[in-house]
Amino acid sequence: MSSLNIKRLPYHSAIIPAVVTVVFLLPFINKAFHIDDTLFLASAKQIQSNPVDFYGFSINWYGTELPMAETTKNSPLACYYIALVSAVFGFGEITLHIAFLIPAVAVALGTYYLAAKLCSKPTVAAVAAVLTPAFLVSSTNIMCDTMMLAFWLWATILWMQGIEDNRWSALCAAAVLMALCALTKYFGMALIPLILVYSVVKKRKLEIQVLFLLIPIIILAGYQWLTYELYGRGLLSDAASYATQQNWLKNWLSGGRFFVKGLTVLTFTGGCIITALFYLPLLCSRKNLITITVAVVIAVIFASGFMTKIVKFQKNPQDSTNWIFTVQLILMITSAIIILTIAVIDLYSNRHAESLLLLLWVFGTFIFAGFINWTVNARSLLPMTPAVAILIVRQIDARSKNIQSLWRLVWPLVPAAVITLAVCWADYAWAGTAREAAAVINEKFKTQNKTIWFLGHWGFQYYMEAENHKALDLERPRPVYGDILISPVSNTNVYEISDELVVLDQTLEFMPFRWCATMKRPLGAGFYSDVWGPLPFAFGKAAPEKYRVFTVK
C-alpha cells in the first residue's frame, strides 16, 4: 500500500466527484423539511436563544409534551451548524439545503482521497459512493448523517497519514475529528475502536500513538457529564440504552425476529447501495457467481419462512404473488450479498490492515443497523457507503487489472444513477406533500375563527406550527366544540380519536411521485424505518397522501 499524501494527489480528479455531488443535489435544494428535520430545526432555534442549554425545551413528538433531552437521540453538533447558518441567512429551505451541500461535498472528497490510498481508481470509487440512495437521499435532508460521515472519513484519512508518517499533528487533528464525529451523531463513537484495531494490526503492536484516541474519549466523557448536569441524564449513555433496549434483547431472545431483522438489513443494505448489483459482472468469477446465487436462494427461502412482513407484502388483494415486490426483494438481497462477499474476499486475498479496516467498517455498520439499533433504516447504513465503493474498485483491481475501457468501469453507474434519482425524487415529492397539505389546510380553514389542531409529526408538524396551529396533546387535550382536527393517514405517532369525540368532515389528498416511494406501507417501502416496510424503497403505483379533517363534537 502506498503512503497517503494528500498534497501529491491530482486535484483535477477530485473535482469530478465533488461536481457530481453538487449537480445531483441541486435539483432538490427546495425540498420541504422532512422526517426528523423538525427536531434539528427546533434545537437550532433553542441554541440561538441559549447556546449552552441546547436541549432545554419541550416538544410534542410522541403525542404529549416531553423534554427535548428525552425526545431526541441525536447529538447536537448539526443543530449548532443549522443555528449558525440560519442566524445569518434565515431558516429557509433553500438556504439550509445549500449549507448542507458542504458536508456532502466533504464526503465525496473524503471518499476520493481515502480511495486514492486503497485502490487504483479513486474517482470511480468516489462517484460510486455518491450515486447511492443512502447517500443522496440522506444529503437532501438537514439531519446529522452526512455531516457525521464527513467527519468520519477525514478523521480516518488523517489518522492513516499520521500512523504511516508518524505525524503527531495529523493524529491530533484526526482525534479531534473523531470527537466531532460522535458529537454529530452518536454512532460516530464506533470509529474509535475501529481505528484502534486498525492501528494495532498496522503496526503489529500497541504503540504510543494510540494514546491520541484518549482525546475523543475525554471529550465525550465531558459531554456525558455536561448533559447529566443539564438534563439529569447523560445523553450519550441514554442514546445507547435506547437503541439496545428497543431492539437487541428482542432480536436475540426471539429466533423468528432475529431472522426478520437479518433479512431486512440485507434488503436495506443492498437497496441503499444498489450500485454493487450493477458491478456484478466485473466483480465475480463464475464460481463466485454461483455461490452468490445459492446464498440468495437460501436467503429468500428464509424470507418466506421467517419474514412475516415480507409474506404480507408478497400477496396482493387477489392473494397472488406480488412479483414486482418479489423481484425487488431478490435484487436487493443479491446486492447485499455481493457487498458482504467482496469485503470477506478482500481480507482473505490481501490480509492487510487496510482490508481489515474495510471489513470491520462494513460488517460493524451492518450489525449495528440490523441487530442493535432500534430500527433498520437507510440512515444507519449510510456510513458503510464509502467503504463499499472502495471495496468494489479494489475487487475490480484484483480481478481485471487489464481493463483499459473507461466505459466498462463507468457504465454500472448509469443505472445506479437513474434508480438513485428516482428514489430522491420520490422522497422529495413525498416531503412536499406535507408542506402543501399544511398550506392548503391553513388557507381553507383560517377564516373560520376556529382553532386548528393536528396529529402527526415530521415535516408536517414544522409547517403546521409555522402557521400557529397546535399539535394535539393526548394527555392534556384542549380542543373545544367546533375546533378542527387534522389527522394524516401516513405519518408517525398518529393515534385514533374516538368517534364519540369527533366527526369526519372530509379527506384531503395530495399526490406524491406515482411510481416510486421511500415510505409506503402498501409497497413495503420503509427508508426511514423498517416498521413501514422491509425495503428501503419500492417501485410500484403509489397512492395519494391523505389528511382527514375532523370537527370536534
Q: At what angle do helices 191-203 and 353-367 cross, to 10 degrees?
A: 160
- SS3 label, residue 108: helix
Grid cell in block for residue 148: 457525521
* pLDDT score for 446: 81
Grid cell in block for residue 436: 402543501
* pLDDT score for 2: 47
Spell out the per-residue pLDDT of the chain, length 553, in tens.
Answer: 445 554 455 567 789 999 999 999 999 999 999 999 999 999 999 999 999 999 999 999 998 899 999 998 899 999 999 999 999 999 999 999 999 999 999 999 999 999 999 998 999 999 999 999 999 999 999 999 999 999 999 999 999 999 988 889 999 999 999 999 999 999 999 999 999 999 999 888 777 888 999 999 999 999 999 999 999 888 888 777 665 555 554 555 555 567 778 888 999 999 999 999 999 888 776 666 666 666 666 666 655 544 444 545 544 544 445 678 888 988 898 899 899 999 999 999 888 999 999 999 999 999 999 888 888 999 999 999 999 999 999 998 887 765 666 778 889 999 999 999 999 999 999 999 999 999 999 988 887 778 899 999 999 999 999 999 999 988 887 878 888 999 999 898 888 888 888 888 889 999 999 999 999 988 889 999 998 989 999 999 888 999 999 998 8
Do 148 and 181 touch, CB atoms closer than 8 A? yes
Name residues whose C-beta falls within 8 Å of residue 27's C-beta, 6 or more positions apart in sequence.
none
What percent of the residues of the chain are helix, what percent strand, and what percent coil, each to the nearest 5?
65, 10, 25
Do 459 and 435 touch, CB atoms closer than 8 A? yes
Residue entry with cell 450493477? 278
* pLDDT score for 101: 97
Q: Where are the extended beta strands (E) located within 349-473?
A: 452-454, 470-471
Q: Which long-range contacts (CB under 8 A, 24 or more apart) does 223-232 make?
A: 223/75, 223/183, 227/55, 227/69, 230/53, 230/55, 230/56, 230/69, 231/55, 231/56, 231/67, 231/69, 231/70
Sheet holding 502-510, edge to edge: 470-471, 452-454, 484-488, 545-552, 502-510
Handedness of CA 133, 518, 39, 58 (dihedral sign): negative
* pLDDT score for 498: 81
Please tell me the distance from the alpha carbon of residue 35 to that of residue 493, in angstroms, as a whole number.
12
Q: Enter the pTM of the model.
A: 0.91
Helices (H), 119-167: 122-130, 133-139, 145-165
- Kindly report the backbone phi and psi dihedral angles of residue 166, in degrees, each rounded to the nearest multiple of 5, phi listed first: 55, 45
